[in-house]
């Protein structure tokens, strides 16, 4: 069997050895629960957690580590954010867009279905970017910093500033699940209230993600239980301050131990622009291929004239090449483009130009 060529980084990144080693080291040498014990192992685990939190805070440009909350991933954070906001503020209108992943928009759409909020749309420009010059007025704005289909970084700071001009109390939520893999996040420069990403998209394990909250202590928790309360006496309790307030229960400690190592290693990657542009240029010479993404996007998306994307996926898969086919959990942008699904090629630090050449040859054979 040929070596597998994995071109699905945007779905989940392969894990570097250093991450597996960091996780193994934690499990072997420092493992204990956090925030509960006073023994030596508990102290080591607490130290690991505090260091990981500070590392992430610096990585995202957060004001302080207390606004960095560990979650199980972007979907978890996006669902939790809805409850966190609605537990603390009155929300009537929520602005979403057709660039959104299902995870970012469905939790709000679900409230809209029950008549609890009204959904308004951030329009898209002709280039399918968020049109920040025509932002709607809303109490909450959901911003997809980079679409997982089109791979173009959005101007998050401008979008947030336009949203605030319309409503100075607006709450802004940034989905940085794809952006984190390609661009430097800076929540302070963005001025966002919430931001989230999943560790597995940048080489950390599954089951760990980040939810940044700017004014964490001004929001009420959405989950209750161990580790988030200072004192309980009868039916009275004192809830701890952030981050503990939002971290009820045992955290995915092993995955957290690997996250700073994953970030460090990911940041040494040059981004694979040469591989992406080579594949893009070769695809653009194939008459049946219709490219959906632009040349300097971080992701390549396309459809093949007269071929269902699932058939394309099966044919390329038979050559041990992994690409993503389907609606990518981003149905809305596909319907804007008048299609049900697409083929997506996304690269990571493990991909080589030699693999890119093999992939191009295989695709040429499939679409001839
Ligand atoms: C833009 C975007 N948002 C949200 C998600 C959901 O991430 P997860 O499945 O890690 O929760 C993804 C995953 O593909 C994504 O690309």
pLDDT score recorded for residue 42: 87
- Please name which of 57, 83, 87, 86 lies closest in space to residue 70, comparing C-alpha atoms: 57
Q: What is the mean pLDDT of the chain?
A: 97
Span 233-252, mean pLDDT?
96
Q: Which atom of ligand 1 sits closest to the CA of residue 145?
A: 1
Minimum-distance ligand 1 atom for the alpha carbon of 200:
10
Please say if the pLDDT value at position 37 is more than 80: no
At 2 the pLDDT is 60
For position 107, what pLDDT does the model report?
98
CA pair distance 157, 152, nearest whole angstrom: 15
Output the CATH code of domain 5-15+270-367. Answer: 3.90.1150.10
| E-strand stretches of 149-269 | 171-175, 194-198, 209-213, 229-233, 236-239
Is the peptide bond between 243 and the residue preceding it cis, with omega within 30 degrees of 0? Answer: yes
Q: Supply the residue whose CA is at minimum distance from atom 7 of ligand 1.
A: 74
Q: Which two tokens stand for residue 236?
A: 């009275």
Rounded to the nearest 10°, the torsion over CA 249, 254, 260, 264 is: -150
Question: What residues flank ligand 1, with Cβ below 6 Å?
Answer: 73-75, 101, 103-104, 144, 148, 175, 177-178, 198
**Average pLDDT of the segment spanning 141-156:** 98
| Mean pLDDT within 349-363 | 98
pTM of this prediction exceeds 0.85: yes
282-330 tens-digit pLDDT: 999 999 999 999 999 999 999 999 999 999 999 999 999 999 999 999 9
Give me the mean pLDDT over the 165-176 stretch: 98
pLDDT digits 0-9 by tens, 68-101: 999 999 999 999 999 999 999 999 999 999 999 9
Cα 148 to ligand 1 centroid, rounded to whole Å: 8
Distance 57 CA to ligand 1 centre (A): 20
Confidence band of 1 (pLDDT split at 50, 70, 90)? very low
Alpha carbon nearest to ligand 1 atom 14, residue: 11
Residue with tokens 């307030």: 245
> Given pLDDT bands bounded at 50, 70 and 90, which one contains residue 38?
confident
For residue 175, the model assigns a pLDDT of 98
- Which ligand 1 atom is at minimum distance from the Cα of 75? 11
CA atoms within 13 A of residue 212's CA, in its CB half-sphere: 32
| Domains in the chain: boundaries | 5-15+270-367, 17-266
From the CA of 75, how far away is ligand 1's center (Å)?
Answer: 6
User: 89 vs 92, 169, 171, CA distance in Å?
Assistant: 10, 10, 10
Ligand 1 atom closest to Cα of 77? Answer: 11
State residue 36's pLDDT score: 73
Tell me the average pLDDT across 179-187: 98
CATH of domain 17-266: 3.40.640.10
Site to substitute for ligand 1 among 74, 255, 327, most atoms within 8 A of C-beta? 74
Helical (H) or strand (E) element with 275: helix 273-284
- Ligand 1 centroid–CA 25 distance in Å is 28
Shortest-distance atom of ligand 1 to CA 201: 10
- Give, using CA atoms, the residue closest to atom 16 of ligand 1: 148
What's the whole-number mean pLDDT along residues 219-235? 94
Ligand 1 centroid to residue 285 C-alpha, Å: 31
Question: What is the distance in A from the centroid of ligand 1 to the CA of 237?
Answer: 35
CA dihedral for 67, 187, 200, 16, sign (positive or negative): negative
Q: How far is the CA of 72 from the centre of ligand 1 (A)?
A: 12
Ligand 1 geometric centre to CA of 222 (Å): 21
């Amino acid at each position: 069997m040929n070596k597998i060529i994995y071109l699905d980084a945007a779905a989940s990144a392969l894990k570097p050895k250093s991450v597996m080693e960091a996780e193994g080291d934690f499990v072997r040498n420092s493992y204990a629960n956090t925030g509960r014990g006073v023994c030596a192992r508990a102290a080591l685990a607490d130290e690991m957690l505090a260091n990981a939190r500070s590392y992430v805070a610096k990585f995202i440009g957060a004001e302080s580590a207390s606004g960095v909350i560990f979650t199980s991933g972007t979907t978890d954070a996006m669902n939790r954010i809805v409850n966190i906001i609605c537990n603390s503020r009155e929300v009537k209108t929520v602005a979403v867009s057709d660039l959104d992943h299902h995870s970012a928009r469905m939790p709000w759409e679900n409230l809209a279905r029950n008549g609890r909020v009204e959904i308004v749309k951030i329009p898209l420009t002709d280039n399918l970017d968020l049109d920040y010059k025509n932002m709607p007025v809303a109490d909450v704005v959901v911003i997809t910093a980079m679409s997982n289909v089109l791979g173009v970084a959005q101007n998050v700071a401008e979008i947030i500033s336009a949203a605030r001009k319309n409503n100075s109390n607006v709450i802004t939520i940034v989905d940085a699940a794809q952006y984190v893999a390609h661009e430097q996040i800076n929540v302070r420069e963005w001025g966002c209230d919430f931001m989230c990403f999943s560790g597995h998209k940048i080489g950390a394990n599954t089951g760990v993600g980040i939810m940044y909250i700017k004014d964490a202590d001004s929001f009420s928790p959405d989950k209750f239980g161990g580790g988030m309360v200072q004192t309980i006496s009868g039916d009275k309790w004192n809830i701890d301050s952030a981050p503990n307030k939002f971290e009820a229960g045992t955290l995915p400690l092993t995955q957290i131990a690997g996250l700073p190592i994953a970030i460090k290693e990911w940041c040494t990657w040059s981004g694979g622009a040469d591989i992406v542009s080579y594949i893009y240029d070769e695809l653009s010479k194939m008459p049946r291929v219709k490219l959906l993404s632009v040349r300097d996007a971080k992701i390549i998306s396309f459809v093949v004239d007269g071929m269902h994307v699932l058939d394309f996926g099966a044919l390329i898969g038979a050559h041990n090449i992994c690409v993503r086919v389907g609606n990518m959990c981003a149905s809305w942008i596909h319907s804007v483009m008048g299609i049900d699904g697409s083929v997506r090629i996304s690269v990571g630090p493990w991909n080589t130009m030699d693999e890119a050449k093999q992939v191009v040859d295989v695709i040429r054979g499939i679409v001839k």
